[in-house]
Amino acid sequence: MSGAVATPGRAVRRTVCSAHGVDFGQVYDPGIAGQREALWLPVHCPQCENELRERLEADAELARLEADLVEETNRRAEADGGRDERIDAAVNADMAEQAMQLVAEFYARRRAEFEEFHAGQDWQRMYEQVKADRRAKILGR
């Protein structure tokens, strides 16, 4: 990109498209306050504009063919011998990953609860032992 040249009511500049390396001119559009941002036009180089137009035309053509696309996709899916195996492998991998996440979350979230429970159980076991020892002492007197 090179410097902008201001002319009365109109600023122009040359810039280079990063995708195509094409040098092209732009005119500054100051926009409208609160409605439209200022920008340099055209935004893209002629080649970019061409590719964009072709892509939009292709998208429009594909939109007209939607029913055909669905039908062909269904046909290919049915004819694809490796599809079930591929889906199975993906499902197994995803589920294994999520199961590991669930286990990790369970350990992280519930650890304090389990510690408290087992500390209580352990204390109660000790308490019963102390009580039994004292009972034996009393009976042995």
Nearer to Zn ion, 52 or 87 (CB): 52
Nearest distance from residue 80's CB to Zn ion, in Å?
Answer: 37
Which residues of the chain form contacts with Zn ion (CB under 5 A)?
17, 19-20, 45, 47-48
Nearest distance from residue 14's CB to Zn ion, in Å?
Answer: 14
Nearer to Zn ion, 15 or 47 (CB): 47
Strands (E) across the chain are located at 5-7, 10-16, 23-29, 39-41
SS3 content of the chain, % helix, strand, coil (to 5): 65, 15, 20
Q: Is the peptide bond before 8 cis (omega within 30 degrees of 0)?
A: no
- Within its chain, how far is the Cα of 13 from the centroid? 38
Nearest distance from residue 21's CB to Zn ion, in Å?
Answer: 8
Nearer to Zn ion, 11 or 20 (CB): 20
